[in-house]
Amino acid sequence: MIEQTVIDYLSDYVPTYAEEPETPPASGLYCVVEKTGGGGDTGIRDATLAVQCYAPTLAGAAQLCEYVIAQMRGLTALPGVSRCKLNSSYNYTDDRKKRYRYQAVYAVVYY
């Protein structure tokens, strides 16, 4: 499951989860990885992944997103991951919960 691979990888740099934690880290800095699409049936798979970066301030969320983008450049060093391309990153503040977040969207090819 590529989501778990990315969660495990990013967890070395920032607390990262598959869903929002009931109790966020004391720092307020964390990421949530979500698969938003994908396919492939020949052993080579592709996925669109959203990495949501949360922080107590909007500037903090933007900085965390930039940090995550820098770390994700190393994802292809993992066995089974052949491509990781940033599609976009943007302010994705959660108005409903009134929480600051940025989101980075990736196209990942894996096997």
Which domains, ranges and CATH numbers included, belong to the chain?
2-110 (3.30.2000.10)
* Tens digit of each residue's pLDDT (9 = 90 or more) over 65-79: 999 999 999 999 999
pLDDT of residue 41: 79
* Tens digit of each residue's pLDDT (9 = 90 or more) over 31-52: 999 999 999 878 899 999 999 9
| Six-digit token string for 62 | 């933007």
pLDDT of residue 97: 86
pLDDT at 89 over 90: yes
pLDDT of residue 93: 96
pLDDT of residue 64: 98
